[in-house]
Amino acid sequence: MDKPVLSKQAFKNVDMDNVDFENGALNILERVIYRGSREDFMAVRKFYGDKRIRKEIIQTKCFGPKEISLCCLIFKLKTADFKYYKEGQFRAYPEFKDCPEDFEYPSYAHTNLQGTS
C-alpha cells in the first residue's frame, strides 16, 4: 500500500520523504491525532487500519485527556487500556508545546468516523 499523503499541519519541520511509516507508526499517529487535519486522520486510518492503530496508540506517553477521550470514542478503548495513562498527569512531547490548552477537534465533530478494522 502506498504511504499516506499527510499535511504539514502536524509535521512542521519534518521531511516526509524520510519518515518511516512502519517503524514510526506511533509517532505518526500521535502527531496526526494531536495536530493533524481530518484528512490526515482518515489517511492514517486507511493506511494502518483500526486494529493496528489500537495496538500502537495505547503505548503513547504524550496524550492529554482530549486525545485519550477521542481515541476511546473512535477506537472503542478505555482509559485503562493506555499503558501510561494516569489521570491528572498528562504531558505533551516538546514538539507539541505550541498547541493551545483548549485544542479541540471541530473537523471531527460532525463527521462519520466509522472506519476500517
Task: Determine the straight-line distance between the first and last CA of the chain, rounded to whole angstroms.
Answer: 16
pTM: 0.74
CA 95 vs CA 31, 49, 61, 63: distances in Å:
9, 26, 13, 13
And the C-alpha cell for 76? 472503542
Break the chain into its structural domains and give their ranges: 16-93
- Average of pLDDT values for 53-75? 89
* Max CA pair span of the chain: 39
Residues 22 and 95: their CA atoms lie apart, in Å, by 21
Residue 17: pLDDT band (50, 70, 90) is: confident
